Amino acid sequence: MKIVEATEEHLFIIQSLSDKIWPPTFADILTEEQIVYMMDMMYSTDSLKKQMGELNHHYLLAQEDGEYLGFVSYETNYKEENITKVHKIYVLPSLHGKGVGCFFINTVGEIAMKNGNKELSLNVNRLNKAIDFYKKMGFEIVKTEDIDIGNGFLMEDYIMNKKL
């Protein structure tokens, strides 16, 4: 398995992966309307270009035998602190449990440490099974956060952190 740093050339790959991963992940957690709204907010071409070009989000893709397996995005020095924010981590459903997520967290952890960051931080929906994955990876819940994302929708999250 290798890591490819995504550029604007890979936007359609990120979009195609999120189309396959988002609906099954959130079908039992969010309404279909909220899934469509959030996917547009996060994965439209304009949004991805802004994240990469202006907001300092880096996207990494995992690739094996020419196939893309998932992606992670991160931002070092988040809010000018010694924290790397893991904005997104998504692996194709058929490949869960095979080590890709762990590989992503370890890779981002190494990048964070090279940048002098001391902690990884992320938001996760309070009903998402990924919470147990994060606990296994050494994260702990530090806060509960409800974020108003417009159109009457809320993100009902935990903030989880992992010391590096």
Ligand X SMILES: CC(C)(COP(=O)(O)OP(=O)(O)OC[C@H]1O[C@@H](n2cnc3c(N)ncnc32)[C@H](O)[C@@H]1OP(=O)(O)O)[C@@H](O)C(=O)NCCC(=O)NCCS
Q: Residues in the site for ligand X, rule: CB under 6 A?
A: 21, 25, 89-91, 96-102, 124, 128-130, 132-133, 136
Cβ proximity to ligand X: between 63 and 128 the closer is: 128
CB of 25 vs ligand X, minimal distance in Å: 4
User: Residue 115: helix, strand or coil by DSSP?
Assistant: coil
Complex with ligand X: residue 8 or 144, whichever CB lies closer = 144
Tokens at 78, concatenated: 């988040």
Q: In 2-139, where do the E strands start and end?
A: 2-5, 58-64, 67-75, 83-91, 119-125
The nearest distance, CB 156 to ligand X, in angstroms, is: 12
- CA gap 18, 115 in Å, rounded: 28
Rounded-to-10 torsion of CA 29, 32, 36, 41: -40
Task: Tell me how far, at minimum, the Cβ of 9 lies from ligand X, in Å.
Answer: 23
Q: Which one, 1 or 8, has the nearer CB to ligand X?
A: 1
Judged by CB, which is closer to ligand X: 10, or 88?
88
